Structure 1
């Protein structure tokens, strides 16, 4: 269940911090990757060397690490995780979280994250029962975060009651329960810049069958299209996401229509029009197998190879861009190229009659196809706007902001 899942573990200061070491072992055994941040007080109880040795990643302690912060490291840490886990969570750190304080790497990362946070408190029983702590717990729960424990028992201070950190096995079970709902509920802007607008977005690859068990596909992960859907719904839009086969969860508030082939995607897009904005981010296969087998194609005894015949798939962006009666006010196409990026993008702008083409270089050495970052150029009839390399979530936010500004003119 946790294979290849990314856990950001934040360890705060308290005698229960030693249990975070056991939790790292359990998470690694389940196949998860673990990055850890230690508060200054946490280093009094467990060493960064121990944490980094067990996690296989550098243990982070300082906000102003010049190497990482040159790349806005705390922002990347806060977003590049499937779930953020705080073990143990002291009364002090929970108070910071509840009030939005950010004065070190741990609290700054917690404030910057767009993920749900799983919090396992550990403190003296009187501290846990204090009205201030209970108010903070309610605030954190109202914000969509998950509280695990604390348990009842004898604590290091020799007092007995609620305040003991839950056992690592119980925290692990809670992580498994919430790992697929790690994203925070979206704060949809009722009066946002795209309120009242209908946005259609395509995302992911298409799979074109060769026979019942084989297909032709590409390396698109759908991450950019899903990030655009998330930012569009946050801006107040009604979002219809037509998605090819991906392993991503649809952002909350988004209507997802799952398809497999280019033909199915074409039909789904046609059925959801009209729309105000169309963002054609999917990596649609240009061709399909015209003579696909009705049964699995077997190897031939004489070593002869099967002959595949191809026919052209519908051009969905061109269909939308040239639609006579239901063309959206703003149509945005994508051009994933390996050579002559600008030249090919300009040709697509004209051929497909789009308003923008978002172009990028997906040569293998860039790592963009299927990766978490993107570097785009926005091609319009007025010129070319080149953006710096950044996480795909940041690209999506900036694109949606640019769309809103364009429509407001």
Structure 2
């Protein structure tokens, strides 16, 4: 059962205010007490009745309502988390300058909990020097300002400045409730290359060899690294149903060969490689150009066809060798992933230690897999092994929480290096 927290959802006056309705619903359904504090402009896009119905709490906008309750102080004092979504250029400017001319900005001044801003504005406004300075000011003071998504904006315009999807904002909100210090802006200038999801090795135009990886853990690492300031490229394999993370360049691939090509292309300019993808170890030697028919159909052999397999390229080992050979001069850290089960020869950690030694990477994230573990689920746990022999248990929790621990370890490794 999720511990019930007090969450304030601030809503500024932009067209993306309608997306706050989904965010309020998701946070409420997660078991939290949610109170919406909109600006007067926000209520021109979404009425107070909608927010009250979704949250179950009254909606106020000014410091002159319910004065006897001293709402402009009490709401911020009692909050476990404040999320502002959308955070317009105007709201960010007022927050950075310490204004307190409505209930939302007054709440921001009194809150001593984590404060998360999810910006939404046109590209030109997001990149304007005034906004850049205001965002830097808020981050310097300890607030979390998310990188916006790129895509369709108001009218026919497209570009960066789009509000991240409600699910992504609520994911970060939940992370901050679990771990308030999870999103420091400490990876600026670091180029991170992440692979995620399973590869699919075609047998014929219909069938393929694949695995159960959902890509959620790799996506979580990419998402957290980007929001901590890193320049992130995500190479995504089979990740059905996962939206592209905000602030991340995404390259979609299908097979192990395509993954290897993409890593080879992007790795030379990267400082960190995180190989979270579940790469198929084998692929069919020959791929049929037409669908292989069932054996009982007229005119075909009665026996099931034999599929000859060939080993795929070991993408992680190839990257390690390329760095050793001087082909990746910028690469400072290589992180591998190991999904392991115990057997007659040893337990999960026994096999993981052997893999770390064999692969030659700097860090290895280890997951024990099985029914309901690691694959196709939202939670995870495991161990983080270092080439120097250090081993740290990764506590059970959301994959985003685990991603924050992994990015912590990457940051520590870079600082030591």
The two structures share one fold, judged by TM-score above 0.5? yes
Aligned mates of 2:277, 2:72 — CA distance in 1 = 38
Taking a change above 3 Å as real, the CA distance of residues 88 and 243 of structure 1, as seen in their structure-2 partners, is same
The runs of 5 or more residues in structure 2 that have no matched partner are: 9-21, 36-52, 64-70, 88-100, 110-114, 122-162, 174-181
Check whether the contact 1:319–1:352 (CA below 8 A) recurs between aligned residues: no
Aligned mates of 1:191, 1:397 — CA distance in 2 = 10
**2:58 is the counterpart of 1:90:** yes
Question: What aligned pairs does 1:97-116 form with structure 2 within 5 A after superposition?
Answer: 101=76, 103=78, 108=80, 111=81
**2:408 is the counterpart of 1:401:** yes
Check whether the contact 1:11–1:87 (CA below 8 A) recurs between aligned residues: no
**2:102 is the counterpart of 1:132:** yes
Residue 320 of structure 1 corresponds to: 319
Residue 281 of structure 1 corresponds to: 276
Check whether the contact 2:281–2:311 (CA below 8 A) recurs between aligned residues: yes
**Aligned-residue offset at 1:194:** 1.9
Give the one of 353, 363, 369 matched to 2:370: 363
**2:239 is the counterpart of 1:258:** no
The runs of 5 or more residues in structure 1 that have no matched partner are: 1-7, 13-26, 42-84, 118-130, 147-177
SS of the aligned residue for 2:391 comes to strand
CA deviation vs aligned residue, 1:264-323 (integer Å, no higher than 9, x gap): 000000001221111101111001111221111111235420111100111111011111
**2:217 is the counterpart of 1:217:** no
Question: What aligned pairs does 1:24-103 form with structure 2 within 5 A after superposition?
Answer: 35=29, 37=31, 86-87=54-55, 90-92=58-60, 101=76, 103=78
SS of the aligned residue for 1:375 comes to strand
- Report the RMSD for the aligned CA atoms in angstroms: 4.2
Residue 200 of structure 2 corresponds to: 207
**Aligned-residue offset at 1:210:** 1.2
**Aligned-residue offset at 1:40:** 11
Aligned mates of 1:396, 1:384 — CA distance in 2 = 17
Check whether the contact 2:222–2:234 (CA below 8 A) recurs between aligned residues: yes
- TM (norm. structure 1) is 0.60
Taking a change above 3 Å as real, the CA distance of residues 99 and 34 of structure 1, as seen in their structure-2 partners, is closer
Aligned mates of 1:265, 1:216 — CA distance in 2 = 15
**2:338 is the counterpart of 1:331:** no
Check whether the contact 2:193–2:272 (CA below 8 A) recurs between aligned residues: yes
Residue 292 of structure 1 corresponds to: 287
Check whether the contact 2:190–2:271 (CA below 8 A) recurs between aligned residues: yes
**Aligned-residue offset at 1:356:** 1.2
Aligned mates of 2:370, 2:183 — CA distance in 1 = 40
CA deviation vs aligned residue, 1:146-200 (integer Å, no higher than 9, x gap): 9xxxxxxxxxxxxxxxxxxxxxxxxxxxxxxx9955434999x999422211111
Residue 311 of structure 1 corresponds to: 310
Question: What aligned pairs does 1:104-253 form with structure 2 within 5 A after superposition?
Answer: 108=80, 111=81, 132=102, 143-144=118-119, 180=165, 182-184=167-169, 192-246=185-239, 247-253=241-247
**Aligned-residue offset at 1:260:** 0.5
CA deviation vs aligned residue, 1:78-109 (integer Å, no higher than 9, x gap): xxxxxxx9445522599879997363xxx54x
SS of the aligned residue for 1:273 comes to helix
Aligned mates of 1:114, 1:262 — CA distance in 2 = 41
- TM (norm. structure 2) is 0.59
SS of the aligned residue for 2:251 comes to strand
Give the one of 245, 263, 266 matched to 1:269: 263
Aligned mates of 2:72, 2:291 — CA distance in 1 = 56
Check whether the contact 1:116–1:183 (CA below 8 A) recurs between aligned residues: no
Residue 378 of structure 2 corresponds to: 372
